[in-house]
C-alpha cells in the first residue's frame, strides 16, 4: 500500500522541530512549486509552517492541505482518518447496508477516501498552477476527507432529503427492481441496469421466459412497477436462480440489456480489460515476490505509460536531494545527519 501511493517519489526525512531541519525545508521550498501537507492546522501553526506563515516568504508557492473535517467549525481540530471522517461521517456505511432486521453496517473499503480526496486535490493544484502562470501569484488549495465524501456522494444527499421521499437504509424489496442484483444458480450475482423501463422490460421478460409479466397490470409501466417493487423483485429472483450467470449474461447481452457479474476484489487482477488498458502492472520485490499493482487511470498520449517505480524507503534519498537539488556539500550533509536534523534510511 505504501508503494501504491508513493511510486516514483523521492524521500527526504527532516526534523522540523529543529532550527537546522526547518532551514533545510525552507531551502527546498525556495524553488518548489507545491507544498502539500496533511498535518493538522494547530500543529502547522506551532511549527510556523501554516499558509499565513509561508505565503510572504514564498509568494509563488502553491500551498495544498488535506484535513479531516475542514478549515472552520467545531470539528476543525478533530483528528480524522479515512475510516471515520470519510466513511463514518458520510452516511455510506450505515445507510447503504441492506435492512434485514439484523443487519450490520457494511465494512469500509480501505483508503478510498484518501485516494479520491488526493485525486481531487490534484485537480485543484493543477488549476492553481495554471492560475499562477497567468498572475504570477501562488495560492492556497485545500480539501477535507469529510468534504470530499460529501462531494463524491452528493447524489445520495439529494435523494435522502425529505422532499424527494427516498429514505435510507432500504430493505431489499424497496430497491428499484431493474437496477438490482440477482443471485444466479451458481451463486454469482448478476447486476441489471435498465434505466428505460418501457423500452427494455418486455425484452427482459422474454429472456427470462415469462413474457406474461410484461402484460401484468402491476408491472405495465414504471409507475405501476414502483408501487409493486417487492412482487416484481420476487418474480425476477425466482427466474434468475434457475440458471448460471453465464447463461443469463449471454442471453441478456443478445437483447442489448446492460448487465454484468458482481465481481470480487480478487477477480480484478485477472481482468483482461484492465491489463490491456494498463490499469494494472506487475511489481517485483527485492525478495523475489511479485504483486499486481493498480495504476492511475488517467493517461496521457504524450507521456505514454511510464514504468511504475516502487515507493522509496523513508529517507532513502536525503543525501542525493540535498546535494543535487540544494547544492549542499558533503561535509554539510554529514553534519546535518549527525545532528539528527535530517535522516537517511540505513
**Over the stretch 79-126, which tens digit does the pLDDT of each residue have?**
889 999 999 999 999 999 887 878 789 899 999 999 999 999 999 999
Q: What is the largest CA-CA distance in the chain?
A: 87
pLDDT number for residue 188: 97
Say yes or no: 251 and 341 in one domain.
no
Verify whether residue 114 is a known catalytic residue.
yes
pTM of the complete model: 0.90
Query: Is 342's pLDDT higher than 80?
Result: yes
Residue 286: which residues within 8 A CB-CB, separation 6 or more?
A: none
Q: How many CB atoms lie within 10 A of CB 14?
A: 20
Report yes or no: 221 and 246 within 8 Å, Cβ to Cβ.
Answer: no
Residues 186-215, mean pLDDT to the nearest whole number: 96
- Give the tens place of pLDDT for each residue, 142-199: 999 999 999 999 999 999 999 988 889 988 998 899 999 999 999 999 999 999 999 9
Say yes or no: 78 and 96 in one domain.
yes
Helix, strand, or coil (residue 224): helix
The Cα–Cα gap between 111 and 4 comes to 11
Mean pLDDT of the chain: 94
pLDDT number for residue 336: 97
- Give the tens place of pLDDT for each residue, 156-171: 999 999 998 888 998 8
Number of domains in the chain: 3
Say yes or no: 181 and 153 in one domain.
no
Say if 86 falls within a structural domain: yes
Report yes or no: 243 and 259 within 8 Å, Cβ to Cβ.
Answer: no
pLDDT number for residue 309: 85
> Active site residue: 114, 226, 260, 267, which one?
114
Nearest Cα neighbor of 125 from 32, 26, 9 is 32
Say yes or no: 167 and 183 in one domain.
no
CATH number of the domain residue 95 falls in? 3.40.50.10540
CA dihedral 247, 249, 254, 256 (to 10 degrees): 160
Cα distances (angstroms) measured from residue 207 to each of 82, 175, 193, 252:
43, 22, 15, 7
- Give the tens place of pLDDT for each residue, 305-326: 988 888 999 999 999 999 999 9
Residues 195-209, mean pLDDT to the nearest whole number: 96
CA dihedral 9, 11, 16, 17 (to 10 degrees): 140
Amino acid at each position: 500500500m505504501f508503494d501504491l501511493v508513493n511510486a516514483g517519489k523521492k524521500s527526504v526525512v527532516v526534523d522540523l522541530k529543529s532550527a537546522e531541519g526547518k532551514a533545510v525545508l525552507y531551502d527546498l521550498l525556495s524553488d518548489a512549486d507545491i507544498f502539500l501537507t496533511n498535518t493538522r492546522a494547530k500543529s502547522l501553526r506551532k511549527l510556523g509552517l501554516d499558509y499565513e506563515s509561508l505565503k510572504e516568504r514564498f509568494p509563488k508557492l502553491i500551498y495544498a492541505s488535506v484535513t479531516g473535517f475542514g478549515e472552520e467549525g467545531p470539528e476543525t481540530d478533530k483528528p480524522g482518518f479515512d475510516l471515520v471522517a470519510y466513511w463514518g461521517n458520510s452516511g455510506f456505511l450505515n445507510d447503504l447496508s441492506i435492512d434485514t432486521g439484523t443487519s450490520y453496517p457494511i465494512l469500509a473499503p480501505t483508503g478510498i477516501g484518501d485516494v479520491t480526496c488526493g485525486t481531487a486535490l490534484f485537480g485543484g493544484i493543477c488549476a492553481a498552477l495554471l492560475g499562477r502562470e497567468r498572475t504570477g501569484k501562488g495560492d492556497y488549495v485545500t480539501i477535507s476527507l469529510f468534504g470530499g465524501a460529501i462531494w463524491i456522494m452528493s447524489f445520495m444527499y439529494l435523494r435522502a432529503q425529505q422532499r424527494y421521499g427516498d429514505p435510507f437504509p432500504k430493505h431489499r424489496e424497496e430497491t428499484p427492481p431493474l437496477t438490482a442484483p440477482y443471485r444466479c444458480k451458481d451463486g454469482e450475482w448478476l447486476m441489471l441496469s435498465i434505466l428505460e423501463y418501457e423500452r427494455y422490460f418486455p425484452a427482459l421478460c422474454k429472456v427470462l421466459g415469462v413474457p406474461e409479466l410484461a402484460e401484468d397490470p402491476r408491472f405495465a409501466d414504471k409507475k405501476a412497477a414502483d408501487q409493486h417493487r417487492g412482487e416484481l423483485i420476487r418474480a425476477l429472483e425466482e427466474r434468475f436462480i434457475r440458471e448460471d450467470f453465464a447463461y443469463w449474461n449471454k442471453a441478456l447481452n443478445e437483447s442489448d440489456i446492460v448487465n454484468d457479474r458482481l465481481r470480487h476484489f480478487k477477480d480484478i487482477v485477472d481482468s483482461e480489460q484492465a491489463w490491456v488498458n494498463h490499469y494494472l502492472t506487475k511489481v517485483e520485490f527485492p525478495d523475489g515476490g511479485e504483486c499486481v499493482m493498480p495504476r492511475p487511470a488517467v493517461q496521457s498520449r504524450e507521456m505514454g505509460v511510464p514504468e511504475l517505480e516502487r515507493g522509496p524507503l523513508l529517507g532513502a534519498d536525503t543525501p542525493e536531494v540535498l546535494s543535487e537539488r540544494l547544492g549542499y556539500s558533503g561535509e554539510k550533509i554529514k553534519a546535518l545527519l549527525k545532528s539528527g536534523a535530517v535522516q537517511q534510511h540505513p
